[in-house]
Structure formats: structure tokens, C-alpha cells
Amino acid sequence: MKSSIVFYSVLACLGWNPAFSFAPTCHTKLSSRSDYHDNFQRDAFRQKHERIDSTLLFMAETNTEGRKLPFWLDPGTKGGVVFLSFVLFLVPLLAYNVATNVFGADEIETGITIGVGFTVFATVAWVSTYIFRVATKDMTYAKQLKDYEDAVIAKRLEELDEDEVKALQEEIERDDF
């Protein structure tokens, strides 16, 4: 008795319900609530992917303008991430081999020293990039806030009449002098 309870409990955890295995198949139309739910999910899925597609298009348009490094060195691209990860993987291994084979250092001490040194270096480098991005306000939130503010200003400018726009331009020109 216990083994059958355990067996059916395991099957239930895996998503198999024995009651549906022996139930007759029902060919009735779905209720309107289910239809509404399916349409809602489909619309939400479509809107999400349209938003993602437009975001990716915007990112693709803006990222190619100021790129100074080739794609395999730029850490903002997949090629750059793969290349830099490969380099960061090889540097400690090469340092270990040079220290043990060329200089004849103790293998255990060299491994510990290089491991700790590389970990400290990587942590300090990562923290310094974060501090630099905070200091220069080059964070995602700051960029999104600036884009939002620019969009609000552009929308308000579109809603103004030509006379109001000219008055604002004249006021700005007076303030510049």
C-alpha cells in the first residue's frame, strides 16, 4: 500500500495525473473565459515581443555609432565577451607555467599566490568599473531616465504652437548672451 502511494506521489510531482488517464476524452468548445484568457496571453506575448524588438532595434542603431574597438575586443559585444573571457582564463595559467617552469617556484605556493592575486585583481577591476559608471552616471537607470526626460520634452515641444516655439527660441537666445 505504501509503495503505491509513493509511486503515485512521485508521478503527481512529475505532472502526471492518473485520473486523466482513464477519463473519457471531452470534445466540447472552450468557455468564453478561457478564450478571453488565451487572447489576453497572446496579445501580451505579442506586445512584449514588439517592445523587445523595438528596444533591440534602438540598441543596434545607437551602439554602432561610437564604436572605436573591433567587435572582438569590445566588451559590449558577444565577440568581445568571448575573447576577453578566453584571455582572462589563459593569463593565470600562463603565469603559473612561467613561474613554475622558468623560475622554478614551488607549485603549491605559486598556485595559491596566482589564484589569490588574480581573484583580488579581478574583484578590484570589477568594483572600479562600477564606481566609474556611478561617477559618470553611465548606469542603465540614469540612461533610461534621461531618455524618458528627452522624450517628454520632445512630446511637449510637438504640442506647442509655432508662436510659442519661436518665443522659447528667442528666450533661449537672450539667455545665451
Task: Give whichever of 32-41, 67-76, 112-121, 156-165 has the largest mean pLDDT.
Answer: 112-121
Q: Are the C-beta atoms of residues 77 and 85 closer than 8 Å to each other?
A: no
pLDDT (mean) for 143-171: 89
Find the radius of gyration of the CA atoms of the chain: 30
pLDDT (mean) for 68-84: 86
User: Would you place residue 139 in the very low, low, confident or very high pLDDT band (cuts 50, 70, 90)?
Assistant: confident
- Of the two residues 168 and 105, the one the predictor is more confident about is 105
**Residue 100: is its pLDDT beyond 80?**
yes
Tell me the Ramachandran region of residue 74: left when phi exceeds 0, alpha when psi lies from -120 to 50, beta otherwise. beta
Tens digit of each residue's pLDDT (9 = 90 or more) over 29-55: 544 555 555 555 566 556 555 555 555
In three-state secondary structure terms, 23 is coil
**Residue 92: is its pLDDT beyond 80?**
yes
What is the pLDDT, as a whole number, of residue 43? 61
Domains of the chain by residue range: 71-135, 139-177
What is the pLDDT, as a whole number, of residue 40? 56
Sign of the CA dihedral running 90, 95, 101, 106: negative
All three cell numbers of 33: 473565459
